[in-house]
Chain A
Amino acid sequence: MATIQPNIAVEYAENATIVSFTDEKILEEKDIYSLQESIMSVIEQAERINLILDFGNVKFLSSAVLGLLIRVSKRIYERDGHLRLCNIDPKIYEIFKITRLTKTFDIYKNVESATKDLS
């Protein structure tokens, strides 16, 4: 597992790249920008990526992170890849529900279920 900057850890599995957020809170604008840069560079490295974002460590985020996720998802779909989110804390899942982003993102319980059926 490679650690890119202090904010994410990247694991290259057989059929997917798993990016874990290492911070408990994702708030600061500069952190969100740096996160986006890090994730985009992971996406650019692969020709067609199956990206799993693991929120297991995250206990708090603001709507600025939702914007980051939208931008990341657009980039992935442009490159014909797949994006799946997993391990989302119930309080944070509520934010996804309120904003109806549960309708746009594929959300899984854990990394294991998120990696299933990816080609």
Chain B
Amino acid sequence: MTSKMPASYSIVVESKTSAVTDVFQQIQAKLVEHNFGKDDIFAVHLTLEEAFLNAVKHGNKLDPSKKVKVDYSIDAEKVEISITDQGPGFRPENVEDPRLGENLFKPGGRGLLLMNSYMDMVKFNEQGNSVSMVRYKEKPYLTKNPDS
């Protein structure tokens, strides 16, 4: 029986919102390779967009001299993504619930809610400038072929 170590990758990109496109394309290719379905890919795409935008705007404050680091690993069961910015960090517990009261009519503040909704685990480091997210494959691809 062959055992595969989860493939891990690390990318450092410019702190601009358009940089997430290439990052997602790389991750998407690996998700397809590991038989993740459309729902999983949609979820990863959405959360990556939201987390990356937070890193560029709220973390690095649109400072073009700063970078965003994306680490990810994918195996047959799950995808793990960490996004780290060079900002001072924030406290996620201080973010108001966008579904309540007047917040429902505010243009922003929904990214964290979507990340928490589409990922199975979302965790920030103590400083609050790095978020790690895990999503388990929606319908595990069951096979008796150890080589697949």
Partner of A60, one of B42, B105, B113, B114: B42
A29 touches B110 (CB 8 A): no
Given A91-B42, A100-B99, also A71-B113 (CB < 8 A): no
User: Is the CB of A37 closer than 8 A to any CB of chain B?
Assistant: no
A29 touches B111 (CB 8 A): no
Chain B residues near A104 (CB, 8 Å)?
104-105
Chain A residues near B114 (CB, 8 Å)?
63, 95, 98-99
> How far, in whole Å, are A71 and B105 apart by their CA atoms in the complex?
9
Number of interface residues of B (CB under 8 A): 22
> How far, in whole Å, are A70 and B53 apart by their CA atoms in the complex?
19
B47 to chain A, nearest CB (A): 10
B46 touches A100 (CB 8 A): no
With CB as the reference atom, state the residue of chain A lying closest to B47. A62
Give 29 A-B contacts (CB < 8 Å), ordered by A residue. A27-B21, A28-B17, A28-B18, A29-B17, A60-B45, A63-B50, A63-B108, A63-B110, A63-B114, A64-B53, A66-B110, A67-B107, A67-B110, A68-B107, A70-B106, A70-B107, A71-B107, A91-B39, A91-B42, A95-B114, A98-B117, A99-B98, A99-B99, A99-B110, A99-B113, A100-B99, A101-B104, A103-B104, A104-B105
Question: Which residues of B does A touch, CB under 8 Å?
Answer: 17-18, 21, 39, 42, 45-46, 49-50, 53, 98-99, 104-108, 110-111, 113-114, 117
